[in-house]
């Protein structure tokens, strides 16, 4: 009998995701004390098609270190200097905040160089398959030549650019609009 290796379909994470994934398994610190680089905080705020905060979503982040390298060691290790991975459930106001360092530039595709970015997954009730987007740092000169931003229509590019918190310049904020007029750009990865 020939086996069929079509990938298993996705299903929503549902409203009780916390039980399995974040109550005891959150990872807030993407980079620990020993990690080199510019320390930053990333605040995501998830909003639905009517602009209402989504209090039962989960955000996962995956990023390179300050030199543009992706970590390949245990992401759940408490003392890891640099995990590269984080995940948090959103609060009642739809937001969650990670502590990390600003990533370096990452190569590819081809000879191109990618601007510093965070790879982001959004999961939640009503989200049947993971949504993927990226966070870029607003005002970063390398954004101008980033090959992925170049794929995004100019009038929607701003949805991927985090802005510094006026009260705290090391805290970057990105609103993620799941649907609607200001809808965030999501990628088919």
Partner 1 sequence: MSSSLISAKGKHPGESVIPFRRHEPGTQPDSFYPAYRATRLRAPSQPLILLPHTLSEVTGPVFGHSNIHPNDQDLTVQHAGEPLGERIIVRGRVLDGDGRAVSNSLIEIWQANAAGRYAHAKDDHPAPLDPNFTGTGRTLTDKDGFYSFVTVKPGAYPWRNHDNAWRPAHIHFSLFGPAFVTRLITQMYFPGDPLFAFDPILQSIPDERARQRLVSKFDLETTKPEWALGYRFDIVLRGRESTPFER
Residue with smaller CB distance to partner 1, 28 or 52: 52
CA 167 to CA 170: how far, in whole Å? 9
Residue with smaller CB distance to partner 1, 81 or 97: 81
* By the rule CB under 8 A, 123 interacts with partner 1: yes
Minimum distance of partner 1 from residue 169's CB (angstroms) = 26
Closest CA to 86 of 57, 50, 112, 61: 61
Q: Which of 29, 37, 62, 164 binds partner 1 (CB under 8 A)?
A: 62
Minimum distance of partner 1 from residue 138's CB (angstroms) = 19
Neighbours of 98 (CB within 10 A): 25
Computed on alpha carbons and rounded to an integer, the radius of gyration of the chain in Å comes to 17
* By the rule CB under 8 A, 15 interacts with partner 1: yes
Q: Which of 52, 91, 139, 170 binds partner 1 (CB under 8 A)?
A: 52
* By the rule CB under 8 A, 1 interacts with partner 1: no
Q: Which of 29, 40, 92, 131 binds partner 1 (CB under 8 A)?
A: 131
* By the rule CB under 8 A, 167 interacts with partner 1: no
Cis peptide before 97 (omega within 30 of 0): no
Minimum distance of partner 1 from residue 179's CB (angstroms) = 5
- Give Cβ neighbours of residue 46 (< 8 Å, ≥ 6 apart): 53, 54, 57, 59, 90, 94, 95, 122, 124, 176, 178
Q: Which of 37, 39, 48, 99 binds partner 1 (CB under 8 A)?
A: 48
Closest CA to 131 of 48, 30, 53, 51: 48
Residues from 95 through 114 that contact partner 1 (CB under 8 A): 104-114
């Amino acid at each position: 009998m020939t086996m069929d290796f079509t990938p298993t379909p996705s299903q929503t994470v549902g409203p009780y995701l916390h039980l399995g994934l974040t109550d005891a398994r959150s990872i807030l610190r993407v980079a620990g004390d020993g990690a080199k680089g510019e320390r930053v905080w990333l605040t995501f705020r998830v909003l639905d098609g009517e602009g209402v905060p989504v209090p039962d979503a989960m955000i996962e982040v995956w990023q390179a270190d300050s030199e543009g390298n992706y970590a390949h060691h245990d992401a759940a290790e408490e003392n890891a200097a640099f995990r590269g991975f984080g995940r948090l459930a959103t609060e009642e106001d739809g937001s969650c905040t990670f502590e990390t360092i600003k990533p370096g530039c990452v190569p590819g595709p081809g000879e191109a160089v990618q601007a510093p970015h965070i790879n982001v997954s959004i999961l939640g009730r009503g989200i049947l398959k993971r949504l993927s987007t990226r966070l870029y740092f607003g005002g970063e000169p390398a954004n101008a030549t980033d090959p992925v931003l170049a794929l995004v229509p100019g009038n929607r590019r701003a949805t991927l650019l985090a802005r510094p918190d006026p009260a705290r310049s090391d805290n970057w904020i990105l609103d993620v609009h799941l649907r609607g007029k200001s809808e965030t750009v999501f990628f088919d990865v």
